[in-house]
Chain A
Amino acid sequence: MSERSIRRVTTHASRAFFLVCVPLAIGCTANLWGDERDDTPSAVAGSTAAGSGATGAGTAGSAGTSPLLHPIAPGPATLPHLTVKQYQNAVRRVFGSSVVIPELEVDNRPEFYAVIGAARQPLTETSISLFWEASKSIAQQVTTEPLLREKLISCPAAPSVDAACIAAFLSGTVVKLLRRPLSEEETEQYTELISSTARGNLWRGLRFGLTALLSSPAFLYRHERTHATSDVPDSVKFDDYALASRLSFLLLNEGPDEELLNRAAAGELADPSQLAAQVGRLYPAATTSGLSEFFHEYLELDAAGLLDFEGDVDEELGAAMREEVILLARDAIAPGADFRRLFTTRETYLNGPLAQLYGVAGPTGNELAPFTLTAGGRRAGLLTTGAFLTAEGAEDRTKPTNRGLYVQFRLMCTQIPDPPEDIPKLEDTGVDPVATSVRAVLELHQREPRCAACHALVDPIGIGMEDFDQFGRYRTTYPDGSLVDARSEWNGVPFSGAAELGELLGNDPRVAVCMTKQLFRYATARLETADGEAPLVEALTNRFADSGYSFRELVGALVSSASFRYAKRQAP
């Protein structure tokens, strides 16, 4: 590594802040694993020892008094607004995919997820005005274009202003939009609006009615109604329409379909077995829609192919990389699949450019096709995908620390404490920063006690993946000809290379705990509460393990849990 590179490494103060020596104040390590300590193998009753790979025999998976059904206290209900994708999905589902949807304010993703941002961050004046403009545009389109009109109403009398037709619109199309029937007051209001703005032409009235409905907080916010219950102390119970909505947004990232609405209308969804049946019905579609979106956000696939912020953007290759991971995830969450294959599988999907990047004689052309990587080869699972390997690199080098951070933050849910304020440059610590390899630079962290504790958590992970460069290519030498040494340790177990690390991660029960937490957060649009819901996460993880890491079972267990069906009672 050149002197200039070293200086860059040692002075980069943002993305590579952990490449800078990160001194630890006394006590930094005390909470290093945060609440993860409670979820380490011992807390996952009967589960596997780290790295053993055997399926655990959970003890808390049964119903009855299990926290699955009755956690001590479910967390609060949230009020997320629709994310941009949910808005787009809703409009396209109800009106058809040819509707042109104008620009909306981009979502932020605190805690990785747009739904959490949507529940935490208020809509701004700009955002609300963009929704209004989008409503006007969409309403205009669907009430003027013949093919789109068909999806609105089926009244033979249109465009005459017919009360029955308006009523059918409000109890049909509008229920799909609002995810529940209108109240009497709402029905009256919208009947009046449509009638009064029709001016003799029903399509015109529908245009203004839809303009309002698509801008209405009743549509834009997922207000999930609750009612009193004595089932769970200090809690309220989501009503059937709320459950339909929660289930549908989790699985499909859009509002409930007709079947779900019908079940809700019949009052059937309060019954957990009915809810479970709906999971079964929707799960196949979920693997390519809502759960696909979950993995897109969870694994930060936006960054695939971008080489961080510094390098060339190859949009097509990046798209192929994203698609590969989405397909790997789809296979890992298929009913009956062991989710851990995500980290270990050699059954992947490539197109021509991706096969070329991977150096395999695989599919040609631009469409991704199934491809089996060589058994025993260096490439297997998520950590060897182009999407992962390019997301955390720079133009001219890998960023091992950042790869390690990705694993700790996203796959392990580790809370690493913030570095203290007075971080010295390596030069200022008396350490000679002139080094000749990435490994040597990272080893400097270990020689500086104030840096070592945090870097010990992340650097070894990154070092162990040095067999892949920043473009996702396998390598045995660095550009200067020196040999790559990807030997490292995970939990005291030696490994060499990203594929072997994937094997260890897949078998690490903490990864399953983290996976459970992430799904919980995506499903509820909030973090799990520290007190009431920690046992639930534990129980869900056990159920996950008991099922042979069936993601389908995890989803089912989560949906049947009290945190999905109940919420903390709020003070009025």
Chain B
Amino acid sequence: MTKITRRTLLRGSAAGATVAMGIPLLECMGEGRGHAFAQSLNPVGFGVFFWGGGIPHSKLNDKESTAADAYTPAGAAGISPLAPSALLAPLAASSQWLNVVTGLNTASHQVVQRETHFSGQAIALTGDGVAYIDRSDLLYSYSRPSIDRFVAKYPGFYAQPPRRESVHTCAADRFFKSHSGWNCISMDGKDQPVKPILDPSTLYTNLFGGFTPGAGGAQVRADQKSALDAVIADAHRLQQQLGAEDRQRLERHLDGLRSIERQLDAAPPACTLPTAPADAAAGLLPRFELQAEIIVAALRCDITRIFSMMVTGGAHGYKMDKTGTENGPGSTGNHGALHAGNNDAATGNTLLSFKALQHLLGKLSVEESPTGGKLLDNMLIFATSEYATGWHHQHEEFPVILAGKAGGKLKTGQHVRAPGGNICAVQLAMLQGLGLPIAEWGFGGGETSTPLPGLLA
């Protein structure tokens, strides 16, 4: 792939037309890469990777288990060089980019009413417990924004919002509950779910479709802009007729329209656009891989810097065999099998999820970042699940894997063992690694002002 210089970016399209960039490049910046960017421009990207079902149970993470631990890498409490375990084998090629953080739990938080799926997910992704559990329909909500949306909205993270503030996908198209909080991992706050795009073709069109308008492209773009202006005028007109609460909803709507406006205003990015996926891939892994191609392209082309990707939702029933092959021989519906203590199912689920993660990391480790180096040099990926193990749905040894150097702010290639560690301390380290001036983090019992030692460079 051709390296993209800032000059190229500033020039925009190959035709050399003057363009309004989604991300402003300040005059004070030198020609240097990455770290030379001005303070107001954060060159670091952030992604969340989530899988339902946790990891297998073992003597380490479940007092009732007699199984050997196949997940935790070697190493005493503190920092060790990372030597991937059997379960982490799919990620071995990315070892140098990883921090496998073990020993964490959610003990400092109150886990609401033993509801351990969504509480674990909420704590891992927001630092706080759930806002509520509506047991009549098992509908849930976080109490606050998920960490990806928190970062996306954090003042100054983006000097200006890029074409897309954040992008969210899910490879699974079946959920434990298709119409409640189980179908997403990102939220803007209580009762504000940000649902993922499922179909890779839709994802492609959503991010890249506007850049290939076909014949008469410039005119089409101008006319689309006129159409959008009418929509925005309609939104303002409606807003004037509403009460305060609904006016606020329309303001959010206008934010979304402005995001489309930014896309229309920007010229096609000066990068190699991905090709549109052909037919929708069948199966979790193929679908995830197609989504990952598009997400990585969006990062490479600087269309967004924040994403969340789900392989599966919490309590999913997808079937996979013990090698991590979906519908392979001996596959069982995952969540039911986990309840039954079936470690083959747990192993297969973990392996499949890590194969997906490796596919993503493999791409991020070789693709050029628009701000210099490889994408993983400038990114931080946070991979986690809904609980530690499915057998008893407990949170001891909560699985957390970080990937990427966050512009040099994170050390990598490590196993960070923190027995009894507070997951919020990892989140604080991540937020500081992303350059956010946050001194304290954690809610509902998880408050901390100490980032987990060993992560920050």
Contact = CB atoms under 8 A, between A and B. Distances in A.
A310 B333 contact: yes
Nearest to A422: B114
B219 interface: yes
A1 interface: no
Interface in B258-276: 259-260
Contact of A20 (B114, B241, B315): B114
Given A14-B393, A189-B230, A217-B250, A103 B139 contact: no
A103 B223 contact: no
Interface string A115-147: 001001111111111101100100000000000
A375 interface: no
Nearest to B181: A108
Contact of B231 (A123, A217, A221, A418): A217
A412 B341 CA distance: 35
A395 B336 contact: yes
B192 A122 contact: yes
Interface in B190-247: 191-199, 202, 205-206, 209, 219, 223-224, 226-228, 230-231, 233-235, 237-238, 241-244, 246
Given A108-B139, A212-B227, A218 B206 contact: no
Contact of B197 (A123, A126, A302, A420): A126
A262 to B, nearest CB: 25
Contacts of A114: 179
User: Which range contains the number of A residues in contact with the other chain?
Assistant: 35 or more
Interface in B114-136: 114-118, 133-136
A410 interface: yes
Contacts of B3: none
Nearest to B333: A310
B231 A212 contact: yes
Contacts of B234: 186, 189, 212, 216-218
B138 A15 contact: yes
B255 interface: yes
A394 B317 CA distance: 11
B191 A409 contact: no
A107 interface: yes
Interface in A296-324: 300, 302, 309-313
A423 B113 contact: yes
A124 B194 contact: yes
A28 to B, nearest CB: 12
A419 interface: yes
Contact of A125 (B118, B134, B180, B255): B255
Contacts of A132: 228, 260
A125 B393 contact: no
A208 B193 CA distance: 30
A405 interface: yes
Contacts of B228: 132, 212, 215
B192 A12 contact: no
A128 B259 contact: yes
Contacts of B181: 108
A193 B139 contact: no
B37 interface: no
A572 interface: yes
Contact of B206 (A14, A130, A217): A130
B226 A12 contact: no
A125 B238 contact: no
Contacts of A128: 253, 256-257, 259-260
A520 to B, nearest CB: 16
Contacts of B160: none
Contacts of A311: 317, 333, 336
B340 A4 contact: yes
A115 to B, nearest CB: 12
A130 B253 contact: no
Given A79-B246, A120-B191, A309-B335, A208 B226 contact: yes
A127 B256 contact: yes
A108 B223 contact: no
Contact of B224 (A107, A122, A211): A211
- Which of A102, A106, A193 has the most chain B CB atoms inside 10 A of its CB? A106
B188 interface: yes
B165 interface: yes
A211 B229 CA distance: 11
A12 to B, nearest CB: 6
B355 interface: no
Interface in B54-94: none
B339 interface: yes
A193 to B, nearest CB: 5
A416 interface: yes
B257 A310 contact: no
B115 A17 contact: yes
A149 interface: no
A395 B113 CA distance: 25
A122 B179 contact: no
- Which of A190, A197, A204 has the most chain B CB atoms inside 10 A of its CB? A197
Interface in A319-352: none
- Which of B206, B230, B243 has the most chain A CB atoms inside 10 A of its CB? B230
B403 to A, nearest CB: 24
Contacts of A133: 202, 205-206, 209
- Which of A7, A197, A309 has the most chain B CB atoms inside 10 A of its CB? A309
A216 B179 contact: no
B135 A125 contact: no
Given A126-B197, A302-B179, A110 B168 contact: no
Interface string B438-456: 0000000000000000000
Q: Rank and list the top 6 A-B pairs by shortest CB-CB distance, nearest first.
A: A310-B336, A128-B256, A409-B136, A212-B227, A197-B223, A212-B230
24 contacts: A11-B339, A11-B393, A12-B339, A13-B114, A14-B116, A14-B118, A15-B138, A17-B115, A108-B179, A108-B180, A109-B137, A122-B188, A122-B249, A123-B249, A125-B165, A126-B195, A128-B257, A132-B228, A211-B224, A218-B237, A309-B315, A310-B336, A405-B135, A409-B136
Given A14-B138, A125-B194, A128-B257, 15 more contacts: A8-B341, A14-B115, A14-B116, A106-B183, A108-B195, A121-B193, A128-B256, A186-B234, A190-B230, A193-B226, A208-B226, A209-B227, A223-B242, A309-B316, A418-B133
Interface of B: 110, 112-118, 133-139, 164-168, 174, 176, 178-181, 183, 188, 191-199, 202, 205-206, 209, 219, 223-224, 226-228, 230-231, 233-235, 237-238, 241-244, 246, 249-250, 252-253, 255-257, 259-260, 315-317, 333, 335-336, 339-341, 391-393
